[in-house]
Amino acid sequence: MTNFTYNPPSGNISSSVDALSWINGLVDNWFFSGSILTLYFIILIKMLTNPNNSAPKSFAAASFICMIISVFARTMNFVSTGFMSIFIVLTAISGVVMHMENN
């Protein structure tokens, strides 16, 4: 069993970015990573349930949306560069797959 200790924020939380930084730090910087991954799977599954969407189209849309969010999260130091790079690579792969499907 892990020993959980509560670390109150140092100083005042004066902005939403400060509050989000504190929440992210509270869970060892996994809050935004987990949130973006969860959003990725929700978008992917939701788009796959629509009969008008193909699997590559769903993959591309989920990858692109999460790539944009991860880039913004990276600029605010909420996720690591490696995590952001994963979604950039997934978006590039999905673009290639969509191109191959259309040819």
What helix, strand, coil percent values describe the chain, rounded to 5?
70, 0, 30
> Environment class of residue 7 by beta-carbon count within 10 Å: exposed (0-12), middle (13-18) or buried (19+)?
exposed
pLDDT of residue 14: 84
Query: Tens digit of pLDDT for each residue in 21-31?
Result: 888 888 888 99
Query: Tens digit of pLDDT for each residue in 39-83?
Result: 999 999 999 999 999 999 999 999 999 999 999 999 998 999 999
Residues 3, 24: Cα–Cα separation, whole Å: 18
The pLDDT-based confidence of 3 (bands split at 50, 70, 90) is: low
